């Protein structure tokens, strides 16, 4: 297990979770489930049986350094990878991979977001172990495809190809990646049985991903290869400030996965959600007799059903006559929005900021 590493991406703002998720304190650092643990703490715990604690790395923006140290005090300074400015997932993965490659060229890496929910831990661990077994056999870039439970338009999809024979029947070749589809297309995908939700989780050897960066994004590869002698020491922060702003703002999907011809998908069903919206969180919270999901000690509802209500513990709240609403207070800001209109929250926040 000493060669197993996990890189947890924790730099996003999660604007669809406004007003709880703000740039200064985004959703991965909140206890959105009301269970006494934040999403990033739950994500780290998920890997307790899969890699040593010293092999867990958090990639985030420099402005979240103190929050990460507070919530994950076991991490040493080298395990907290701080981006000097915001870029996309390809630069942050290239940066983390270059650091780990210098420490251990035999490393196997799981790359995962910090704000996902996984309820079936045993099945999750089995899926990751399958991926580790598969990448031991060759130069593969693997991702995890989630068995879809509905024609969701908020997820990307992976089309499988049965031509590949992996370590078990859950390992398939990737035929194509598809961006978030229309509802009509999503229904077609589900009916075909060939499409799975793209989880945004990746597993590969560090040698495979470094090779892929070199082949498909040579400029990004060269930036980190040129500073490899300065990684994991006192020079790192200063040299990074010079090169990181010049890195292309591009996702790992566009930069590598959609170009590569050695991509595999591990099919899984471990009760996954990316918790991208209040509605997705509602689906995973406990409900009262009227299907209200309530986080808050002093919330009283009357003639109200199917709402998600999230309030500070000491806030007394009475709600009457609401159905299918999001009601959230955070930092003296109140959101009241129909659940059906939650995809507009991101735009609303942009309008407010403007």
Tokens 């879809």 locate to 148
* Over residues 112-117, mean pLDDT: 94
Query: What are the backbone dihedrals phi and psi of residue 333, each rounded to the nearest 5 degrees, phi first?
Result: -120, 135
pTM (2 decimals)? 0.91
Percentages helix, strand, coil for the chain (3-state, rounded to 5) are: 35, 25, 40
| pLDDT at residue 279 in the model | 86
pLDDT digits (tens, 9 = 90+) for 286-333: 999 999 999 988 999 999 999 999 998 889 999 999 999 999 998 889
Ranges in the chain annotated CATH 3.90.550.10: 4-139+198-262
- pLDDT band at 23, cuts 50/70/90? confident
Nearest alpha carbon to residue 94 among 4, 7, 5: 7
d(CA 35, CA 343): 26
Both tokens of 32, joined, read 């959105």
pLDDT digits (tens, 9 = 90+) for 148-164: 988 988 889 999 998 88
pLDDT digits (tens, 9 = 90+) for 39-57: 999 999 999 999 999 999 9
Higher pLDDT, 350 or 337: 337
Percent of the chain with pLDDT over 70: 100
Specify the CATH architecture of the domain 4-139+198-262. Answer: Alpha-Beta Complex (3.90)
- How many angstroms separate the first and last alpha carbons of the chain? 49
| pLDDT at residue 16 in the model | 80
Radius of gyration of the chain (CA): 21
CB neighbours of residue 245 within 10 Å: 11
């Amino acid at each position: 297990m000493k060669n197993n590493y996990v890189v947890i991406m924790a730099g996003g703002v999660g604007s669809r979770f406004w007003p709880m998720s703000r740039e200064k304190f985004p959703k991965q650092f909140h206890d959105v489930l009301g269970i006494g643990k934040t999403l990033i703490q739950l994500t780290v715990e998920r890997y307790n049986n899969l890699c040593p604690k010293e092999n867990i790395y958090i990639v985030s923006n420099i402005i979240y350094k103190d929050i990460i140290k507070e919530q994950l005090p076991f991490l040493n300074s080298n395990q907290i990878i701080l981006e000097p400015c915001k870029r996309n997932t390809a630069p942050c993965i290239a940066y983390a991979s270059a650091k780990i490659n210098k420490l251990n060229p035999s490393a196997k890496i799981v790359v995962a977001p910090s704000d996902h929910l996984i309820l079936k831990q045993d099945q999750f661990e089995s899926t990751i172990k399958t991926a580790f077994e598969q990448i031991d056999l060759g130069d593969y870039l693997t991702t995890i495809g989630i068995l879809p439970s509905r024609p969701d338009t908020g997820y990307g999809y992976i089309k499988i190809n049965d031509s590949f024979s992996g370590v078990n029947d859950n390992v398939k070749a990737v035929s194509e990646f598809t961006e978030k589809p229309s509802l009509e297309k999503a229904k077609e995908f589900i009916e075909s049985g060939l499409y799975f939700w793209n989880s945004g989780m990746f597993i590969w050897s560090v040698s495979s991903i470094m090779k892929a960066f070199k082949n498909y994004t040579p400029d990004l590869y060269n930036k980190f290869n040129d500073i490899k002698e300065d990684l994991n020491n006192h020079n790192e922060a200063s040299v990074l400030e010079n090169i990181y702003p010049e890195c292309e703002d591009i996702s790992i999907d566009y930069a590598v996965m959609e170009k590569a011809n050695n991509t595999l998908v591990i099919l899984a069903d471990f009760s996954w959600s990316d918790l991208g919206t209040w509605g997705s969180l509602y689906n995973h919270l406990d409900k009262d007799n009227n299907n209200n999901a309530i986080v808050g000690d002093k919330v009283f509802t009357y003639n109200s059903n199917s709402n998600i209500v999230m309030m500070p513990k000491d806030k007394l709240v009475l709600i009457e006559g609401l159905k299918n609403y999001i009601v959230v207070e955070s930092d003296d800001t109140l959101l009241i929005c129909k659940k059906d209109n939650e995809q507009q929250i991101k735009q609303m926040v942009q309008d407010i900021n403007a």
